[in-house]
C-alpha cells in the first residue's frame, strides 16, 4: 500500500505550487491521477518504461492494451511519431485541445510498453487547465489511461478514482467533476479513410465536417462481441464499464422500451431480485423499481454522457442484482453513450418494437 496524496486544485486556475508537487512525482517515475475534460486519467511519464509498467500494475490493466499519450501542444507530436498525415493535421487544428485521440505510427523514442508492442501510438491534447499544466510542468508526454481499475466504469470525479485506486497510486489531483463524462473519440489516421475506433466526446457528425470520408469501425455500433480477426484496437477485446450487477440494455421505440423494462423489473422483483433502472427524465415516472435513476433528458444527449458513469457507479453501489437500462438515440453524443452501455451489458441487448 502506498500513501496516496490528495491534491485539491481550482480546475480553471490550478496553483503552480500544487501542480509542481504532482509534476515532481511524474518526473520521479510515479503515478498521478488528474482530471481532463472527458474523464480522470492516471498519468505516468510516457517515455519511462518502468513508470508505464507500474501504471499497468496499479490499474490491473492487461499489458496488451496501450494507454493514450497526452501532450500539451500539437508541436510535441512530431518527435513521438513517424509522420503526421494531412488529415491528422486538419483534425488537430480543428479539435485540439479537446476530446479527440489520434493513432499515428510511432517513432523510436516511445518505449514498447507504452504502445503494447504495436507499431502505432495514440495521442491527444486534453482541454483542461489541470491536465495541460501538469504535462507542461512535468516536461514529458504523459501516458494516461482512464483512472479506474481495469473493467470498471471510467471515473468522472476524484472520489471515483479514490474508490478504485487509493493506496495504489502516489497522488490524486482533485479538480472536481469532469465536463464531458465519456472518454475521447479515438481515430486511426494511419489508414485511408481514417477510421473511428472508439466513439467519444468528439461526435462523428462534427468529425465528418472536417474529414468527409472518415468511417466508423464496425465495433463502434456493434451489438455483439466482434470476432478476434476484426479487432483493430486492443480496447475492443477487453471487458469494460462492467458493474457488479448484471446489465440488460433495452432498445427500441420509447414506449415499447418502458413497457418492456417495467415487465422485466416486475418479473425480476417477483423472484426476489433487487432491480435498478437507468431511465431518462421523460420516462422515469413510468417505473417502479428498487433503485431508479434518470441519466438525463433525451433532448440533451451531452447531459446523459456527462452523468452516465457516475450514475452506473451509484446504482451499482446499492447492491442491485440487475440493472435495466434504456437505450437512447445513437446520434451525436448518443453514439458514445450507447457504445458504453452495450459494452457494460456484455452485449446483453433486448430489442423491442
Ligand atoms: O478521454 C480519454 O481518452 C481518457 C482521458 C484520461 O484522456 N483516456 C482513456 O484512456 O480513455 P484508456 O486507456 O482508458 O483508453 C484508451 C483507448 C483504449 O481503447 C485503447 O485500446 C486505445 O485507446 N488505444 C490506445 N493505443 C492504441 C493504438 N495504438 N491503436 C489503437 N487503439 C489504441
Ligand atoms: Mg479506460
Closest Cα to atom 3 of ligand 1: 184
Pocket of ligand 1 contains residue 197 by CB under 6 Å: yes
pLDDT at 290: 98
Pocket of ligand 1 contains residue 66 by CB under 6 Å: yes
Pocket of ligand 1 contains residue 210 by CB under 6 Å: no
pLDDT at 240: 76
Q: Which atom of ligand 1 is nearest to the CA of 115?
A: 29
Pocket of ligand 1 contains residue 141 by CB under 6 Å: no
pLDDT at 1: 84
CA of 37 from ligand 2 middle (Å) equals 14
**SS3 annotation, the chain:** CCCCEEEECCCCCCCHHHHHHHHHHHHCCCCEEECCCCCCEEEEECCCHHHHHHHHHHHCCCCCCCCCEECCCHHHHHHHECCCCHHHHHHHHHHCCCCEEEEEEECCCCCHHHHCCCCEEEEECCCCHHHHHHHHHHCCCEECCECCCCCCCCCCCHHHHHHHHCCCCCEEEECCCCCCCCCCEEEECCCCCCEEEECCCCCHHHHHHHCCCCEECHHHHCCCCCCHHHCCCHHHHCCCCCCCCEEEEEECCHHHHHHHHHHHHHHHHHCCCCEEEEECCCCHHHCCCCEEEECCCCCCHHHHHHHHHHHHHHHHHCCCCEEEEECCCCCCCHHHHHHHHHHHCCCCEEECC
Pocket of ligand 1 contains residue 122 by CB under 6 Å: yes
Ligand nearest to the CA of 241: 2
Residue of 156, 196, 159, 204 lying closest to 180 (CA atoms):
156
Write out the chain's pLDDT in tens, 353 residues. Answer: 899 999 999 999 999 999 999 999 999 999 999 999 999 999 999 999 999 999 999 999 999 999 999 999 999 999 999 999 999 999 999 999 999 999 999 999 999 999 999 999 999 999 999 999 999 999 999 999 999 999 999 999 999 999 999 999 999 999 999 999 999 999 999 999 999 999 999 999 999 999 999 999 998 988 888 777 777 788 887 777 778 899 999 999 999 999 999 999 999 999 999 999 999 999 999 999 999 999 999 999 999 999 999 999 999 999 999 999 999 999 999 999 999 999 999 999 999 99
Q: Which atom of ligand 1 is nearest to the CA of 61?
A: 13
pLDDT at 272: 97
Q: What angle do CA 141, 112, 230 make, to 5 degrees?
A: 105
Residue of 107, 192, 180 lying closest to 146 (CA atoms):
180
pLDDT at 236: 81
Q: Which atom of ligand 1 is nearest to the CA of 146?
A: 14
pLDDT at 234: 83
**Distance, CA of 199 to CA of 208 (rounded, Å):** 13
Q: State how beta strands 41-45 and 142-143 pair.
A: antiparallel
**Interacting residues of 343 by C-beta distance below 8 A, sequence separation 6+:** 239, 240, 241, 242
Q: Which atom of ligand 1 is nearest to the CA of 201?
A: 1
Q: State how beta strands 100-105 and 69-70 pair.
A: unpaired
pTM: 0.97
C-alpha cell at 236: 475492443
Q: In what order do the strands lie in the sheet with 185-188?
A: 5-8, 171-174, 32-34, 41-45, 142-143, 69-70, 120-124, 100-105, 185-188, 195-198, 215-216
**Distance, CA of 257 to CA of 264 (rounded, Å):** 10
Q: Which atom of ligand 1 is nearest to the CA of 67?
A: 13
Q: State how beta strands 142-143 and 69-70 pair.
A: antiparallel
pLDDT at 222: 85
Find out whether 309 and 154 touch, Cβ atoms under 8 Å: yes
Closest Cα to atom 7 of ligand 1: 41
Residue 160, number of CB atoms within 10 A of its CB:
24
Pocket of ligand 1 contains residue 234 by CB under 6 Å: yes
**Ligand 1 pocket mutation pick from 121, 122, 124 by most atoms within 8 angstroms of CB:** 122
CA of 13 from ligand 1 middle (Å) equals 27
pLDDT at 228: 72
Pocket of ligand 1 contains residue 199 by CB under 6 Å: no
Closest Cα to atom 17 of ligand 1: 235
What angle do the packed helices 129-138 and 16-27 form, to 10 degrees? 50
Pocket of ligand 1 contains residue 41 by CB under 6 Å: yes
Amino acid at each position: 500500500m502506498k500513501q496516496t496524496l490528495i491534491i485539491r486544485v481550482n480546475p480553471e486556475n490550478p496553483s503552480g505550487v500544487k501542480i509542481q508537487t504532482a509534476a515532481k512525482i511524474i518526473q520521479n517515475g510515479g503515478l498521478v491521477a488528474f482530471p481532463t475534460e472527458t474523464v480522470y486519467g492516471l498519468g505516468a511519464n510516457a517515455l519511462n518504461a518502468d513508470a508505464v509498467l507500474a501504471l499497468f500494475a496499479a490499474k490491473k490493466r492487461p499489458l496488451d492494451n496501450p494507454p493514450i499519450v497526452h501532450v500539451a501542444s500539437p508541436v510535441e507530436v512530431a518527435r513521438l511519431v513517424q509522420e503526421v498525415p494531412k488529415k491528422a493535421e486538419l483534425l488537430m487544428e480543428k479539435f485540439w485541445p479537446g476530446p479527440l485521440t489520434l493513432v499515428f505510427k510511432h517513432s523510436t523514442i516511445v518505449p514498447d510498453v507504452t504502445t503494447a508492442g504495436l507499431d502505432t501510438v495514440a495521442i491527444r491534447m486534453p482541454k483542461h487547465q489541470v491536465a495541460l499544466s501538469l504535462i507542461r510542468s512535468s516536461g514529458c508526454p504523459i501516458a494516461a489511461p482512464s483512472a479506474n481499475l481495469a473493467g470498471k466504469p471510467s471515473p468522472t470525479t476524484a472520489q471515483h478514482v479514490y474508490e478504485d485506486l487509493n493506496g495504489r497510486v502516489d497522488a490524486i489531483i482533485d479538480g472536481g467533476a469532469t465536463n464531458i463524462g465519456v472518454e475521447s473519440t479515438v481515430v486511426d489516421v494511419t489508414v485511408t479513410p481514417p477510421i473511428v475506433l472508439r466513439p467519444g466526446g468528439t461526435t462523428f457528425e462534427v468529425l465528418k465536417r472536417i474529414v468527409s470520408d472518415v468511417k466508423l469501425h464496425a465495433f463502434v455500433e456493434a451489438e455483439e462481441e466482434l470476432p478476434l480477426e476484426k479487432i483493430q484496437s486492443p480496447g475492443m477485446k477487453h471487458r469494460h464499464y462492467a458493474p457488479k450487477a448484471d446489465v440488460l440494455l433495452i432498445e427500441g421505440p420509447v414506449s415499447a422500451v418502458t413497457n418492456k423494462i417495467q415487465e422485466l423489473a416486475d418479473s425480476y422483483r417477483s423472484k426476489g431480485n433487487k432491480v435498478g433502472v437507468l431511465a431518462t427524465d421523460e420516462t422515469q415516472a413510468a417505473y417502479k423499481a428498487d433503485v431508479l435513476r434518470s441519466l438525463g433528458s433525451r433532448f440533451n444527449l451531452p447531459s446523459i454522457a456527462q452523468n452516465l458513469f457516475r450514475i452506473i457507479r451509484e446504482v451499482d453501489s446499492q447492491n442491485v442484482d440487475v440493472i435495466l437500462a434504456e437505450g437512447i438515440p445513437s446520434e451525436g453524443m448518443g453514439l458514445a453513450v450507447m457504445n458504453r452501455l452495450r459494452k457494460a451489458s456484455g452485449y446483453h441487448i433486448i430489442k423491442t418494437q
